[in-house]
Amino acid sequence: MVPTSLLMSVTSAGIAILYFVVDLVFLVLVLTTVRTKRPDAWAFLAAAVAIALVTNPLAALAAWLGAAFVSGSDGMDAFMRFTLITHLSLGIINVGARVLYIVGVVRLAGEPSPLVLRDGRD
């Protein structure tokens, strides 16, 4: 039988890779499609995805580091403190990213500003 810790590690790594690939595809779509059609919205969406591309792997790495090093060195209390600090800091960053997503989607749903639609020819 496969140890549970190995299954958890493989599952966590697989999910982290899947998140990264999906975020990368989303970033490519934003930079190619949204950027050309809605210049007023693309920067917010691109920033949100860029934050996700950084924080999702950091969260997976922090979980692995916490389990591998912190819990073994100082016991469960140190592991819980490490987990609390990691989740709190990455959570605040992710809330900021979600705000950027919301602003980008609201701009996409609304009418483009006249300055954005202007093609430079008078």
- The model's pLDDT over 30-53, given as tens digits with 9 standing for 90+, comes to 999 999 889 889 999 999 999 999
Q: What is the mean pLDDT of the chain?
A: 84
Length of the chain: 122
pTM of model > 0.85: no
User: What's the pLDDT at 10?
Assistant: 82
Q: Does 122 score more than 50 pLDDT?
A: no
Count the alpha carbons within 13 Å of 92 in the hemisphere toward its beta carbon: 5
CA dihedral over 41, 53, 92, 95, signed as positive or negative: positive
Write down the domain spans for the chain.
Answer: 4-111
Q: For 39, which DSSP code?
A: T
Which burial class, exposed, middle or buried, applies to 45 when counting CB atoms under 10 A from its CB (0-12, 13-18, 19+)? buried
